[in-house]
Structure 1
Amino acid sequence: MKKVLALAAALMLTLGAFAQIENPVKWAYAAKRTSATDATVFIKATIEDGWHVYSQYVEEGGPIKTSFTFSKSKDYTLAGKTAEPKAVVKFDKQFKMNIGFFEKEVLFEQKVKLKSANAATVKGKLEFMVCNDHKCLPPDEIAFNVAVPAKK
């Protein structure tokens, strides 16, 4: 019986070593105060070669678009929509539509109006989907906290 348990444990460890979780996108966050009551939050995706994430502006019936949900706060309000650079747009045979996406890296920007010159934290979550030419990974949701420095 001990041999069977030892063999089962060894098999599980071996299989676990081969089951690597793919994570081709790394997210980073920063903020810059532009005045006593204004700041810009930067959300950057660094994407491994061969992979891409989608624009915020993907039509219904396409892949999961990148989206941002910011938490309500007494310290700030959003000023406009989250901005993104111009996406690469190509026709996708699987979805039978033109789709905008980003490769290598993309920097999203969200302007916020601050209620005071004190430091604040902008909180929220983002949802995205990453694909390459062969497959797509399931959509992922990530929570973030971005520190906005106090006005000096």
Structure 2
Amino acid sequence: MPKSLLILSILFLSFCSFGQNEVVWDVQYDSETETILFNAQIQEGWHLYSQHINEGIGPVATSFTIEPNKSVFKLIDSTTEPTPITEYDPNFDGELSYFKDSVQFKQKIKAKSAGEIKGFITFMVCDETKCLPPVDVEFNIMIGNDE
């Protein structure tokens, strides 16, 4: 019986370690600037990759997919990001651009009416020794009268 408890405990702890959030996203709408704000809090030691990395190198670039809703909004240009950290990564044998600690991506829109904006964020994180598989995080925000 003690061996089975030990095995169950080890299994439970291994599942818990995968359940940690290396990046926590907060998506908001700024009505004054008509901008969707994608705020990422990145756990210490982890890197969140830029939207602009060489595809052939290895990690998945961060991307934002916003479902069209022509009666509610129109996208203006593409999602912007601040200047990332860019350096040579020996694990991928190339230069990579990433963020650490926190970052805010911005997407300008032209609001047409009150309504819902839905979509998802695709991203990948790595630390100095390993990378986690890409993840999709859904978001849903309201714009208009009930912001």
What band does the TM-score fall into relative to the shorter chain?
A: 0.7 to 0.9
Q: Distance in 2 between matches of 1:16 and 1:97?
A: 36
TM-score when normalising by structure 2: 0.87
1:66 Cα offset (Å): 0.1
Show the counterpart of 2:30: 32
Q: How does 1:1-152 map to 2 (within 5 A)?
A: 8=4, 10-11=5-6, 13-19=8-14, 20-21=17-18, 22-34=20-32, 39-62=34-57, 63-73=59-69, 74-116=71-113, 119-150=114-145
TM-score when normalising by structure 1: 0.84
SS at 2:65 equivalent: strand
* Unpaired runs of at least 5, structure 1: none
Provide the alpha-carbon RMSD of the alignment: 2.1
- Bigger drift between 94-103 and 50-59 goes to 94-103
Q: Distance in 1 between matches of 2:108 and 2:115?
A: 13
Q: How many aligned positions are there?
A: 142
**Identical-residue share of aligned pairs (%):** 35
1:151 Cα offset (Å): 8.7
- Which has the larger Rg? 1
